[in-house]
Structure 1
Amino acid sequence: MTEIRLVGTAHVSQKSVEDVRAAIEEFEPDIVGVELDRGRYTSLTEEVPEPSVADILKRGNFGQLLVQWVLTYIQQRIGAETGVKPGSEMLAAIEEAQTHQKPVAFIDRDIRITLARFWGNMGVWEKIKFIGALLYSLVSVEGEEIDVDALTNQDVVSAAMEEFRKFSPRGAQALIDERDAYLAHQVLMLGSRYERVLAVVGAGHIQGVQRYLDAPETLPPLPTLTAEVKGLPWGKIIGATVTGLFLLLFAAIAFSGVGLDVLLAAFAYWILITGALSAVFTLAAGGHPLSAATAFTVSWMTSLNPVLAAGWFAAAVEAKIRKPTAGELRQIIAAETFSEMRRIPLFRVVLVAALANVGCTIGVVAYFLFIFPVLGIDPTVVITDGFSNMLQMIQALF
C-alpha cells in the first residue's frame, strides 16, 4: 500500500530546511517530490539566459511583469532578513534525496502558466487592489520584524489564505486552489509508481493537497489546470466601449446646437486631460521629460484605439534614452530597496510603460465624469437634443 507524507515549509525559513532534512532521514521515502517546476529549479541552480530588452518591450505585459518582479523582490527581502535564500528548503530536499540516492520529482505547475492564469483570471478591480497592496508591501516589508517560522503554523497559514481569498478570490483560485489540485495530481501519480512518497510543499498548500489526497474523485481534470485562460478580451472591449462613448458624446454635442466652439473645446479637453495625466504618471515613474511628452502627445489617440497603449510609446522613448541591457534583469531581482530598483534602467522603462497606461486610463474616466461641468452645459439637454436631432436627420434621409 502506498504511503504518502506531506511536509509543509516556508520558502525562506531555516527551520523548514531542517524539517525537510529530518523528514527524509526519518521517513526514508522511495521518491521525494518538491514544489518546484523545472524552470524554477534551473533558475535557482544555473545561469539562465535572459530575454533581450526588445523581447520584453514586444510582449507588452508590463503590469504582469512588474507584479512578478515585486513579488520576487519581497521574497528576497524576507530572505535577506532571515538569512535564508528563497527556495533553500526545496534545494535542501533535493540535496538530501541525492545524498540518500533517492529520485526527485518536480511536482509544481510551470510558473509561467501559474502567473498567466493568476493575472488573467483576476478582474480589473482585483488587479488594482493587488498592485496597490504590492506597492504598500514594498514600503512596509523593509525593517519590519517577521516571524517566518510562524508561516509553517497551519492556523496562521489558514488565516492568511482566507484573507487573501477575500482580497482576491480569482487570484486565490489560480495561485492556491488550482495548484493544490495540480500538486495532488502529481503526488498521486508518484504514488502509483512508488510505495513511499514524500512531498515537500509550501505550508499554504498542505490542507488543500491533503483534502484532494483523501478524496481523489473530487480532483478537477488535469488539462483544465494547465489550459490557457481564454476569457473575454476585456482590454479590447473596454477600449471599444470608450471609443463608442466618445463618438456618441461628440455626435450629441455636434447635433445639439450648442455651437462649434463647445465641440472644439470638448475635443481639446480630451487631449489635455488624457495627455496630462499620462504625462504626470510617466514622470512619477521616474520617466524622462521626453517620455512624458510622448505620453502626452499620443494618449488622446491611444485611448480611442483598443489595440494601442500610451505606455508602449513612452517606454520606447524611455528605452532609447536609458539604453537598458538584458543583464539588468538580475540586478532588479537582486535589488535591496525599491529606490535601488527604480535606478535600474530596465525597471524604469517597464514602470514608465505601466504607469503611463494607468494615467491615461484615469484621464479617460475623469473626462467622462467632469467634461459637462467643465464645459458649463447641461448634459441632459445636450444628449436629449443631440440624439433627437440625429434621429430626425436619419428619418429625413430614409
Structure 2
Amino acid sequence: MSEENVTRIHIDDREFILIGTAHVSKTSAEEVKEVIEAENPDSVCIELDQGRYNSIVEGNKWKDMDIFKVIREKKATLLLMNLAISSFQNRMAKQFGISPGQEMIQGIDSAKETGADLVLADRNIQTTFSRVWRNIGLKGKALLLMQVIGGIFSKETISEADLEKMKSEDTLNAMLHEFTQSFPRLKKPLIDERDQFLSQKIKEAPGNKIVAVLGAAHVPGIKEEIHNDHDLKRLSQVPPKSNAPKIIAWSIPIIILAIIAYTFYANPSAGIQQSISWVIWNGSLSAIGAAAALGHPITILTAFIAAPITSLNPLIAAGWFAGLMQAYIKRPNVRDFENLTEDVFSVKGFWNNKVTRILLVVVLANLGSSLGTFIGGADVIRLFLENL
C-alpha cells in the first residue's frame, strides 16, 4: 500500500497503524488485505458499529423486520433515512460498478485469517442520527427530510469529480455534504464526535500493534484525538430533548381547546365554525399526505379522522395510526423486505414496495397533520377574533 494512505502512531510501547481507505475505491480492499497480512497485528479496528457489522455479516435481514414495531417505537423516519443512504450507495454501485464498504469486509476477513481481535470502533449510527436530529431545529428537520427524500429519487448522475471527492469522505458525510454547509454545527456530531469515539475505541483495542481501517476523512482528526482521553458513554448518549418543544406542543392544543370552548359559550354558531375548520384543515392535509404516499383509501380516511384528534395530544400522531392501518391492510411480505435495497433505487420501486410505502404514509401524514395544526389553529384564532 502507498505510504500516503498509512499513518503510524506510537504511544509508549504501542503502535497504531491507521489505513485511510476510500469507501468507494475498488483498490482499498486489496490495500487493507496487504497491510494486515504484512503487519500481523494483535487487533484490527474497523469503522463499523454493531448494526452495520450485522448487516454485512448476516446480510440485510429485512424480512425479519417488524414494521408494526418500527411504527410503535417512532423509528419510521430513522428507517427512511437509513434506506436513503442505501439508495445513495446503490446509485454509486450501479453507475461505477462499486460496492461501498468492501474494505471493511476485507478488514473483517483479514482479521479472522490472521487471528487478530476484531474491534467494531464506530459509534452506533442511530446515535449519530439522533444527535444530528436534536441539533437542527424544526426548520432543519424539514430541510433534512426534503434532502433525504430528494436524494432517494434523484436521477442525477454522480460525476467523476464528485466520486474522487467522495473517496476522502464516508458515505454519511458525502450524502449530507450540502446540508452540513447550511448547518455548520452538524460537523460536531457527524465528524468531530465520531473522530473522538473512533480514536478511543482504537486506543482501547487489545494488544500492542493495532491496525485501524478507516475512511480517509477521519484520519486527520484521529491523529489528534488519539492522544486525548474521551468518555465513550458521554459520546453515546442521546441528548435530552429541550423542554421548549414540549411546552409548545402542549400549549397549542390547550390554547385551541380553550378558544373553541369560550367561543361555544359566547357564540355557539362561531364555535361550530371553528370546530369544522379545525377538523377540515387537520384531516384534509394529513389525508393528502397519506394519499401522496399512495396509501389505501381506508388509510387516507384513517389519517383524516385521526389528525384532528392527535393534533390535540402531542403523545400521539396521525401518521402512526395511518401507517398501522396501511400495514394491516397491505401487510408486507417476505419479498417486499428482500427487495428493499433494490426498490429504493427508483421512484417506482420506492412507491410500489409495501414497506417503504408504509414509511412514507407515516412521514407524510404526520407532516400534513403538523401543517394542518398551524393553518387550522390560525383559522380558529381568526374566527375567535372576528366574533369577539
Same fold (TM over 0.5): yes
Q: Which residue of structure 2 aligns with residue 280 of structure 1?
A: 288
Kindly state the Cα deviation for residue 351 of structure 1 after the two structures are TM-superposed: 1.0
Q: Which residue of structure 2 aligns with residue 34 of structure 1?
A: 46
Q: Which residue of structure 2 aligns with residue 293 of structure 1?
A: 301
5+ residue gaps in structure 1? Answer: 386-398
Change (3 A) 1:2 1:66: same
Structure 1 CA distance for aligned equivalents of residues 20 and 166 of structure 2: 10
Change (3 A) 1:132 1:153: same
Structure 1 CA distance for aligned equivalents of residues 381 and 137 of structure 2: 30
Q: Which residue of structure 1 aligns with residue 347 of structure 2?
A: 338
Change (3 A) 1:330 1:86: farther
> Residue by residue, what CA displacement relative to the aligned partner does 1:328-380 show, whole Å, maximum 9, x if unpaired?
3332123231320210112111210111110010011122344556x4x7x3x
Q: Which residue of structure 1 aligns with residue 27 of structure 2?
A: 15
- Segment drifting more, 276-285 vs 329-338: 329-338
Structure 2 CA distance for aligned equivalents of residues 324 and 160 of structure 1: 28
- Whether 1:3 and 2:12 are equivalent positions in the alignment is no
- Segment drifting more, 241-250 vs 144-153: 144-153
**Aligned counterpart for 1:59 among listed residues 50, 55, 73:** 73
Structure 2 CA distance for aligned equivalents of residues 176 and 360 of structure 1: 34
Structure 2 CA distance for aligned equivalents of residues 252 and 37 of structure 1: 55
Kindly state the Cα deviation for residue 200 of structure 1 after the two structures are TM-superposed: 1.0
Structure 2 CA distance for aligned equivalents of residues 29 and 211 of structure 1: 22
SS of 1:125's partner is: helix
TM-score with structure 2 length normalisation?
Answer: 0.84
Q: Which residue of structure 2 aligns with residue 314 of structure 1?
A: 322
> Residue by residue, what CA displacement relative to the aligned partner does 1:190-228 show, whole Å, maximum 9, x if unpaired?
2xx433322111223222222202x41xx4422101234
The 5 Å alignment of 1:130-209 reads 130-140=144-154, 142-146=156-160, 147-153=162-168, 164-169=179-184, 171-190=186-205, 193-209=206-222
Counterpart code for 1:13? S
> Residue by residue, what CA displacement relative to the aligned partner does 1:245-287 show, whole Å, maximum 9, x if unpaired?
20233255456x5x32222111110000111111111111111
Q: Which residue of structure 2 aligns with residue 44 of structure 1?
A: 56
Q: What percent identity do the matched residue pairs reach? A: 29
Counterpart code for 2:281? I
Query: What is the alpha-carbon root mean square deviation over aligned residues?
Result: 2.9
Contact 1:51–1:326 (CA under 8 A) maintained in structure 2:
no
**Aligned counterpart for 1:354 among listed residues 347, 363, 377:** 363
Contact 2:323–2:361 (CA under 8 A) maintained in structure 1:
yes
Structure 1 CA distance for aligned equivalents of residues 156 and 89 of structure 2: 11
**Aligned counterpart for 2:123 among listed residues 88, 104, 109:** 109
Q: Which residue of structure 1 aligns with residue 10 of structure 2?
A: none
- Whether 1:227 and 2:237 are equivalent positions in the alignment is yes
Kindly state the Cα deviation for residue 108 of structure 1 after the two structures are TM-superposed: 1.5
Counterpart code for 2:167? T
**Aligned counterpart for 2:93 among listed residues 53, 63, 79:** 79
**Aligned counterpart for 2:372 among listed residues 363, 379, 389:** 363
Q: Which residue of structure 1 aligns with residue 256 of structure 2?
A: 246
Q: Which residue of structure 2 aligns with residue 396 of structure 1?
A: none
Larger Rg: 1
SS of 1:14's partner is: coil
Kindly state the Cα deviation for residue 234 of structure 1 after the two structures are TM-superposed: 6.4
Structure 2 CA distance for aligned equivalents of residues 357 and 233 of structure 1: 21
5+ residue gaps in structure 2? Answer: 1-12
Contact 1:164–1:172 (CA under 8 A) maintained in structure 2:
no
Change (3 A) 1:167 1:203: farther
Contact 2:14–2:208 (CA under 8 A) maintained in structure 1:
yes
